[in-house]
Amino acid sequence: MAYENIRVETRGRVGLITLDRPSALNALSNALFEELNRALDTFEADDKIGCIVLTGSEKAFAAGADIKEMSEFDFAEAYKRDHITPWERVTRVRKPVIAAVSGYALGGGCELAMMCDFIIAGDNAKFGQPEVTLGVVPGAGGTQRLTRFVGKSKAMEMCLSGRFMDAEEAERAGLVSRIVPAADLVEEAVNVAHKIAEMSLPIVMMIKESVNRAYETTLAEGTRFERRMFHASFATEDQNEGMRAFIEKRSPQFKNK
Q: Which is nearer to ligand HXC, 115 or 199 (CB)?
A: 115
Closest distance of CB 159 from ligand HXC, Å: 11
* 111 is annotated as an active-site residue: yes
Q: Is 175 in the site for ligand HXC (CB under 6 A)?
A: no
Q: Is 156 in the site for ligand HXC (CB under 6 A)?
A: no
Closest distance of CB 205 from ligand HXC, Å: 27
Closest distance of CB 108 from ligand HXC, Å: 3
Q: Is 65 in the site for ligand HXC (CB under 6 A)?
A: yes
Task: Work out which of 30, 44, 67, 194 binds ligand HXC, going by CB under 6 A.
Answer: 67
* Helix locations, 135-178, DSSP H: 142-150, 152-161, 167-173
Of residues 93 through 132, those in contact with ligand HXC by CB under 6 A are 104, 106-108, 111, 130-131
Q: Which is nearer to ligand HXC, 15 or 107 (CB)?
A: 107
Closest distance of CB 218 from ligand HXC, Å: 29
Q: Which is nearer to ligand HXC, 111 or 238 (CB)?
A: 111
Q: Is 138 in the site for ligand HXC (CB under 6 A)?
A: yes
104 to 40, 51, 55, 130, 208: CA distances (angstroms): 22, 24, 11, 11, 27
16 to 20, 161, 175, 191, 233: CA distances (angstroms): 12, 34, 22, 12, 28
CA distance 133 to 22: 23
6-11 and 126-128 as β-strands: parallel, antiparallel, unpaired? unpaired
Q: Which is nearer to ligand HXC, 15 or 130 (CB)?
A: 130
Q: Which is nearer to ligand HXC, 38 or 59 (CB)?
A: 59
Closest distance of CB 64 from ligand HXC, Å: 3
Q: Do residues 189 and 53 touch, judged by C-beta distance below 8 A?
A: yes
Q: Is 56 in the site for ligand HXC (CB under 6 A)?
A: no
CA distance 143 to 67: 19
Catalytic residue among 65, 113, 167, 189: 65
97-101 and 104-106 as β-strands: parallel, antiparallel, unpaired? unpaired
CA distance 207 to 212: 9
Report residue 225: phi and psi, to 5°.
Answer: -60, -45
- For residue 38, the surrounding DSSP H or E stretch is helix 30-45
Residues in contact with 110: Cβ distance below 8 Å, sequence separation at least 6, in sequence order: 127, 128, 129, 142, 146
Catalytic residue among 39, 100, 111, 141: 111
Positions in the binding site for ligand HXC (CB under 6 A): 24-25, 27, 63-68, 84, 104, 106-108, 111, 130-131, 134, 138-140
List active site positions: 65, 108, 111, 131
